[in-house]
Amino acid sequence: MQGLLVAGRYRLADSIGSGGMGRVWRAHDEVLHRTVAVKELTAALYVSDGDRAVLLARTRAEARAAARINHSAVVTVHDVLEHDGRPWIVMELVEGNSLADAVKERGRMEPGEAARIGLWVLRALRAAHSAGVLHRDVKPGNVLLGADGRVLLTDFGIAQIEGDSTITRTGEVVGSVDYLAPERVRGHDPGPASDLWALGATLYTAVEGRSPFRRTSPLSTMQAVVEEEADEPRHSGALGPVIAALLRKEPERRPSAEEAEQMLAEAAEGRRPHAAQAFIPTQSSGLHTGGTGTPPRPGYGPTAHASGYEPGGTVPGYEPAGTASGHGPAAPGGPGRSMTGPTAVAPTPPGPAPVRPRPRRRLRTLVLVVAVAAVLGGGAAVAFQEWGGGSAQNAGSSGGAGPATPSPSASGSATRGSDGTVPASWESYHDPLGFSLSLPKGWKRTVYELSGGLKQIDYSPDGGYHFVRIAINSSPDFADAHQHQVDLEQQLQRLVDYKRVALKANIYRDRNGSLWEYTWTALKKDPPHIAGPRHAIEETYYSRSGTEYAIYMSTPEQDWAKTSKQFKWVLQGWQEPPAG
């Protein structure tokens, strides 16, 4: 086709690139006497008439999309035309190669250079999004590196223009699967955050020389995009936190384009962007996977609120802090890596080699897989008919926290809460962490987790068959309590007979909070083979200082009538630690 005159004006010279959809030619515009790039859609040669019409529509959409964007980092489209029944696009010619070519030739790029490239791509995306255009196929092959040092974003061939009806068939996935955002793989409508995810994956490829999620097939690649975290980049330098922030699974947790631009500008100067840390899940203590997965990677650790199956999953042979091996009843939630409660995160297992934290999303998946029923301590397997008190031994505590100090309740009520106040027979427990709460006499305290900003304390009369958990997170990674609970509920959908009773935003102690109540069925196959319906309820709120408090209570379904009353009294008697 070399020498072919297209539309009586553009004479093709030599092919300068090709892909699955088409070929790009260097050509001479014989009217304006300038060199241009002409994109030929070769796919149109091999499709039906109906599909050819779709390709033509996509080509026109690409031209319209690019024409709406006025930015020096976006390749200018001069014309769109038909020749030989096929669509062709005439664009400005960029002398140079693509980012994909550069990575292939050099192996990988230095972080500062990759950050500079990413900065220009982001500016192009900001201009596109401001014009109502989503690119939807950001990848190294569509980032052009000009010989003059310019960086340009090209190929808006599957772009979507705000207000246009889609030209994509129902169920069709468009774009390169390595760089599809998780929400797009799930079939959700893309947004600007989807383009930012693809930029993050592109930058990862630039500094590591490989795609972060490429697997052996498109299906396994898409599964990795949704379910797995990328391996920690080894050569990312100051760009690492920015990549991690852009690759958050949830689009609402990725930085905005403005925030990402600032981070990339700092990384391009070799400075580590501290603002990126706000978008990266905080690390928990080490997680022992019981041989079910790859060792976790630092820098991509789970956050505090990583609960899954409420009644305690375990890792064999490990007891949580506060339980002496072979002495006394198990801590509430049972021995092992208990996943019980609202904000359960695994304590650090013993052993000579520390285990690094697993990525947040992967942890949640693991929780749902290994979760088992709560393990009961001495004698609690027998139904506890009147469980307002108990004779279980104090399981103790770790980290020097010490036991809670009970004192008589100051409620002044002469009856068991008939006037809506805490029953006079209850005691006020002053916890070493500074908070206090009212509970029946005889409830015992167990430290479940003391790790950085996360602290979790359990109180139970019977070793965990019924229990209250207080979770305190001084560094929450959700905007509000309701959003956090909604996210957690998504992780519980695979519980047997899971049913939401309530999940609604509310006001608690004059603060925005959220109340979540649900039921499920514990399976008999789950050790220690205590099966049956369970009921749980949780109030979560943020204090004025920004600390997240979750007050959680769990019980067998048959005791729910009593538990629901007790939970109200627990909320009435709760006092958070004093300020300062």
The structure tokens listed for 98 are 């693509």
CB 514 within 8 A of CB 506: yes
Classify 397 in phi/psi space as left (phi over 0), alpha (psi -120 to 50) or beta: beta
Which DSSP letter does residue 150 get? Answer: -
Strand-pair partners of 165: none
Classify 299 in phi/psi space as left (phi over 0), alpha (psi -120 to 50) or beta: left
pLDDT higher than threshold 60 for residue 341: no
Directed axis angle between helix 111-130 and helix 192-208, to 10°? 160
Kindly state whether residues 77 and 147 are assigned to the same domain. Answer: no
CB 298 within 8 A of CB 232: yes
CA distance 405 to 421: 21
| Owning domain of residue 272 | 96-155+162-279
CA distance 292 to 290: 6
In a domain, 119, yes or no: yes
Sheet holding 427-430, edge to edge: 405-408, 427-430, 436-439
CA distance 378 to 392: 8
The structure tokens listed for 84 are 């030989």
- For residue 429, count CB atoms less than 10 angstroms from its CB and return exposed for 0-12, middle for 13-18, buried for 19 or more: buried
CB 31 within 8 A of CB 78: no
In a domain, 309, yes or no: no
pLDDT higher than threshold 90 for residue 29: yes
- What is the C-alpha radius of gyration for the chain, rounded to an integer number of angstroms? 29
Kindly state whether residues 123 and 84 are assigned to the same domain. Answer: no
The answer to whether the pTM exceeds 0.75 is no
Contacts of 329 (CB under 8 A, 6+ apart): 376, 377, 378, 379, 380, 392, 393, 395, 463
Return the pLDDT at 70.
82
Q: Domain holding 254: CATH number? A: 1.10.510.10
Which regions of 333-443 does DSSP assign to beta strands (E)?
405-408, 427-430, 436-439
Alpha carbon distances (Å) from 388 to 254, 406, 453, 497, 526 = 46, 15, 32, 28, 27
Alpha carbon distances (Å) from 461 to 211, 517, 551 = 52, 22, 17
Kindly state whether residues 82 and 128 are assigned to the same domain. Answer: no
CA distance 160 to 162: 6
Residue from 251, 287, 189, 220 nearest 487 by CA: 251
Domain boundary among 263, 279, 295: 279
More confident residue, 418 or 329: 418
Instruction: Please give the average per-residue pLDDT across 114-135, as a whole number.
Output: 92
In a domain, 349, yes or no: no
Q: Report how many domains make up the chain.
A: 3
> CA 456: distance to chain centroid?
22
Return the pLDDT at 21.
62
Contacts of 474 (CB under 8 A, 6+ apart): 453, 454, 546, 547, 548
The structure tokens listed for 166 are 């889609």
More confident residue, 355 or 467: 467
In a domain, 125, yes or no: yes
Sheet holding 143-146, edge to edge: 96-98, 143-146, 151-153
Q: Domain holding 535: CATH number? A: 3.40.1000.10
CB count within 10 Å of CB 545 equals 10
Q: 432-472: per-residue pLDDT in tens?
A: 999 999 999 999 999 887 776 788 999 999 888 889 999 99
Kindly state whether residues 41 and 188 are assigned to the same domain. Answer: no
In a domain, 342, yes or no: no
> CA 315: distance to chain centroid?
24
Q: Domain holding 33: CATH number? A: 3.30.200.20
| Type and span of the H or E element at 488 | helix 481-491
CA distance 223 to 365: 13
Kindly state whether residues 123 and 65 are assigned to the same domain. Answer: no
In a domain, 363, yes or no: no
In a domain, 104, yes or no: yes
Kindly state whether residues 505 and 519 are assigned to the same domain. Answer: yes
pLDDT higher than threshold 60 for residue 347: no
More confident residue, 403 or 203: 203
- Looking at every residue in the chain, the average pLDDT score rounds to 73
Q: 289-328: per-residue pLDDT in tens?
A: 233 232 222 222 223 333 333 333 322 222 223 333 333 3
CB 498 within 8 A of CB 528: no
Kindly state whether residues 415 and 550 are assigned to the same domain. Answer: yes
Kindly state whether residues 103 and 146 are assigned to the same domain. Answer: yes
CB count within 10 Å of CB 500 equals 12
CB count within 10 Å of CB 305 equals 26
The structure tokens listed for 22 are 């088409």
Kindly state whether residues 427 and 565 are assigned to the same domain. Answer: yes
Give the catalytic positions in this structure. 137
Domain boundary among 252, 279, 306: 279
Kindly state whether residues 108 and 78 are assigned to the same domain. Answer: no
Return the pLDDT at 188.
84
Kindly state whether residues 106 and 64 are assigned to the same domain. Answer: no
In a domain, 304, yes or no: no
Return the pLDDT at 48.
67
Q: 530-557: per-residue pLDDT in tens?
A: 578 999 999 999 998 889 999 999 999 9
Kindly state whether residues 108 and 58 are assigned to the same domain. Answer: no
